[in-house]
A and B are shown apart, each in its own frame.
Chain A
Amino acid sequence: MKFLNLMASINRIGSSVIELRDASKSIEYWIALRNYLETSVDGLEELLNTEDSVVLIFEQQELCDESLIKKLVTGFQVTTGGTLREPRIFKVPVLYSTSNTDLSDVAKKLKLSEEDVVLKHSEAIYQISMFGFMPGFAYLTGLPKPLHIPRKQKPSLQIQSGSVAIAEHYSGIYPVDSPGGWYVLGYTDFSFLTQAQNNERLPTPGDCVKFIPTIK
């Protein structure tokens, strides 16, 4: 195992993208840094964060200045003024079910009762850590430890849109039918893309999610 890239690094990707990465920093750091850079860097086409990086995409190659970004990042701290945003909480109704889901399988694997899995999953407050994988798919962190479970070894060929699923330390909502290796616990009609279309403020990493169990 080689431990490259675990250290703080600033990567130029192609001609007009800069990626800041540091595995020792928390998701809170990246979200705060993204908010900070949003107001302090000119010429950005887009700015986004993943769980351990911030990516700056510049409109033009000439504006892509690594030394400037380095200067801005050095000395930045999560508490730097004006970077905190009021997070929103999205309430997501979920119909937890043992039919056509992996709920029973998950309970068995984690040595919990099905009720316990549902209770633990719906008690927690999750945070959007990043979007990726497919349009409108948010990686939600905050899954209680007893529910952490490795991805399926053999991914399902089709996971239905609206599936609320878990894998590793994440929960997520499938926005469209898709193959996938996560365990499905229930279904929702909530979609981040619908939220994005109906609200001026886009769902953003740092925003929170609470799953609300519903009864058919």
Chain B
Amino acid sequence: MIKVLSIAGYATIQDFGRNGTRKLGIPPGGHMDRQSASQANKLLENDHDCALIELFGGHMTIEVSTNQWLSFSGGRSLVTVGSESYFSPCRIEVRPDAVVNIGVIENGNIVYVAAKNGLDVGESYGSKSTYTPSKLGPNQGRSLQAGDQIKTDVLNATYLASEEIPQEVYFPKNLTVRVFAGPEYDLLERFGKLSFFRETFQIEKVNRIGYRLSGPEVSLYPAVLTSRFVSRGTIQLPIGGQPIILMSDAQTTGGYPRIAQLTDLDIDRVSQLKTGSRIRFQLV
């Protein structure tokens, strides 16, 4: 059992998300940064789709009631258990009643916390991902709060030693990312295209639904659009010309022009961009 003692930020239980539920208007949801989430499971030799905790911003303290192995990945955070501490990505062995502190995320937005054999939580529409706007998924569809308990596997055998893993991918503060032209790309005016691809945008606000950018106005031919398919990685341009990058919990349809679509790998990198970071776009 993992018990949340204290939390700052927004933590939810996630897996790879839902498949085939868009037809009911249910977003796929799931990890924000799939590569980091997979790394956390890999460090424990878990199945790659084991549910884990996604800590978005902030920090948290948990108590583990049994022998357990935990792994941490994503942004760089100092993980402390007793007198020992490790920087993520890392894998630690904990004893019954150990208190584990996951420190403030130093680069990136998101840290994943995995337990050996995954978190033992229920499914909703075929997934263990939490979707808080409609209260779907584990923990009654809510984000984790102090006092919440999550069932884990009871382990007996000794396993792998605690270890800090050399970081292969660091999350830079600023990024240039590749995008495909979106279906409404041609609604961009000439100067709109110039500003979108030549200027730098700042990350203004981040959450699991989308990342709002600020920068030069991206001008668009006026158009009234019907509701259209959108997904993780779609870049929408609302009135006002400030782009929004849609993320895992975005709705399944939207009415703003879809000017671009991020490449899949870049979505993971973008998800780790903190507020205030800068981003540039490059057409594939």
Contacts and interface: CB of A to CB of B under 8 A. Distances in A.
- A14, A19, A23 pick with most chain B CB within 10 angstroms: A14
A133 B263 CA distance: 24
A204 B23 contact: yes
Nearest to B23: A48
B117 to A, nearest CB: 27
Given A132-B252, A135-B25, A202-B24, A13 B182 contact: yes
Nearest to A178: B133
Interface residues of A, number: 43
Interface string B215-226: 000000111011
Contacts of A148: none
Interface stretch (B32-40, B66-74, B108-116, B228-236): B228-236
Given A5-B186, A14-B264, A176-B134, A46 B22 contact: yes
Interface in B186-203: 186-187
B136 interface: yes
Given A15-B264, A193-B24, A45 B19 contact: yes
B12 interface: no
Contacts of A47: 23
B140 interface: no
A176 B23 CA distance: 17
A202 B23 contact: yes
Interface string A81-96: 0000000000000000
18 contacts: A1-B222, A4-B184, A11-B183, A19-B183, A46-B19, A47-B23, A48-B23, A51-B226, A51-B227, A57-B22, A131-B22, A132-B252, A134-B133, A135-B21, A135-B27, A136-B25, A136-B26, A137-B25
A185 interface: no
A157 B262 CA distance: 32
B180 interface: yes
A17 interface: yes
B142 to A, nearest CB: 13
B183 A131 contact: no
B229 A48 contact: yes
- B186, B221, B225, B252 pick with most chain A CB within 10 angstroms: B252
B134 A135 contact: yes
Contacts, number: 117
Interface of A: 1-2, 4-5, 9, 11-15, 17, 19, 21, 23, 45-48, 50-53, 55, 57, 130-139, 175-176, 178, 192-193, 196, 202-204
Nearest to A193: B24
Contacts of A139: 227
Contacts of A53: 228-229
- A47, A53, A55, A135 pick with most chain B CB within 10 angstroms: A135
B122 to A, nearest CB: 14
Contacts of A136: 24-26, 134
A4 B186 contact: yes
B22 A48 contact: yes
Contacts of A13: 180, 182-183, 229, 231, 234, 258, 261
B95 interface: no
Nearest to B19: A45
A130 B253 contact: yes
B253 A132 contact: yes
A196 B180 contact: no
B220 to A, nearest CB: 9
A45 B20 contact: yes
Interface in B94-150: 131, 133-136
B208 to A, nearest CB: 15
